Structure 1
Amino acid sequence: MTESMETRLKQAMAELESAREGVARVERELREASFSVLSSDRAVRATAGPQGELTKLEFLENKYRDMSPQELAASVLEAAGAARVKMNRHVMKALAPFTEPSADVPELKGFDLDWGRIFGAEVLEEDDADTARGGRTAPPAWRDALGEDGED
């Protein structure tokens, strides 16, 4: 049983309109999104905005007073980077439905996005890697540079 070309075209146009409305809705939601992350030493909280930009930086409990400039910078970079990755993963998840092929219109194949190329390879890494290690993350590379192993 073959559908008429007109019927298939109407179906495709309806799906495209639905996708357009969905993308507009996701764009509105993402404009308001933000994610905050605490550094592993609990000295800094960084917040990333909808484009991964740093929108807020908090120094917690005056811990910065006992830190060297390198330690403080490392904490800021760690928290800011992690907040940016969280935001990027949120964007990926929000846009994922629009990359999938259409179930109703086989001609609409969806599209491939190289998320690693867009946001950096870290967005493709396991999201909850710390739970696989008993709630602890691997020591950040900056701690190695400071001669620290991240253990308290």
Structure 2
Amino acid sequence: MEADHRAQVEELLAGYRRSRDQLGAVQRKLAAIQESAASEDGLVTVTVGATGQLVGLVIVDNAYRQLRPHELARTVVALTAAAAAKVGRAAGQALAPVLPPDTDPEALLRGTADLTPAELKPEPPDAEETFEDLSWMRAGGKQR
């Protein structure tokens, strides 16, 4: 009887170790993801890391002659968003093997999981709630 329990415990521990190793491999794969996006004219290239942060920016020397500052800024922002979307897809592919088959890994990473668009819509403010009699400046918890 004790041998059966010991075997069950060993089996559970082995399963835990396999799961932990698999999770570690997925975490390493996720952390290593980087994606780039370049403008059609080749003047700007951005690289985004695993969590969507900008980790690389290349602006060719003559970009300043061809683009106005607001155009250059808009290009960097748009390319960063495009590269971040690519990171999201790559992260979803890395995560998919450890998720249940009916789980959308990209939605899970966005934090929306299985929520419907209606569930994600912000609730309208309470029509009865007003702030007209409130002071945002308080001294010792009392209104001034």
Q: Report the TM-score range of the alignment, normalised by the length of the smaller protein.
A: 0.5 to 0.7
The 8 Å contact of residues 30 and 50 in structure 1, kept in 2 or not, is answered as yes
* Contact 2:89-2:106 within 8 A present in 1 as well: no
Q: Please say if 1:57 is aligned against 2:57.
A: yes
The equivalent of 1:112 in structure 2 is 103
Could you say which residue in structure 2 is the equivalent of 1:105?
none
Contact 1:43 1:64 in 2 (8 A): no
> Does 2:80 align with 1:77?
no
- In 1, the alpha carbon distance for the partners of 2:41 and 2:15 equals 48
* Cα displacement (A) at 1:61: 4.5
Aligned residues: 109
Report the TM-score when normalising by structure 1: 0.56
Return the offset for 1:62. Answer: 1.8
- The residue type equivalent to 2:81 in the other structure is G
Percentage identity across paired residues of the two chains:
30
1:32 and 2:29 aligned: no
Q: 1:7 to 1:39 in 2, by over 3 A?
A: farther
Is 2:88 the counterpart of 1:88?
Answer: yes
Is the CA contact 1:44–1:75 (under 8 Å) kept in the aligned structure 2?
A: yes
TM superposition shift of 1:29: 2.9
Distance 1:51 1:62 in 2: 31
1:45 aligned partner, one-letter code: T
Would the aligned equivalents of 2:34 and 2:87 in 1 still touch at CA under 8 Å?
yes
Deviation at 1:40, TM superposition (A): 2.9
State the 1:16 CA deviation.
4.2
Give the structure 2 partner of residue 68 of structure 1: 68
For 2:33, the aligned partner's letter is A
- In the TM superposition, residue 113 of structure 1 has moved relative to its aligned partner by 5.0
Cα distance in 2, alignment partners of residues 82 and 17 from structure 1:
37
Shift of the 83–120 alpha-carbon distance from structure 1 to 2, 3 Å rule, reads farther
Structure 2 length-normalised TM: 0.59
Q: Aligned pair 1:41/2:35, yes or no?
A: no
- Which consecutive unaligned segments of at least 5 residues does structure 2 have? 113-144
Q: CA deviation at 1:9?
A: 8.0
Equivalent residue letter for 1:58: V
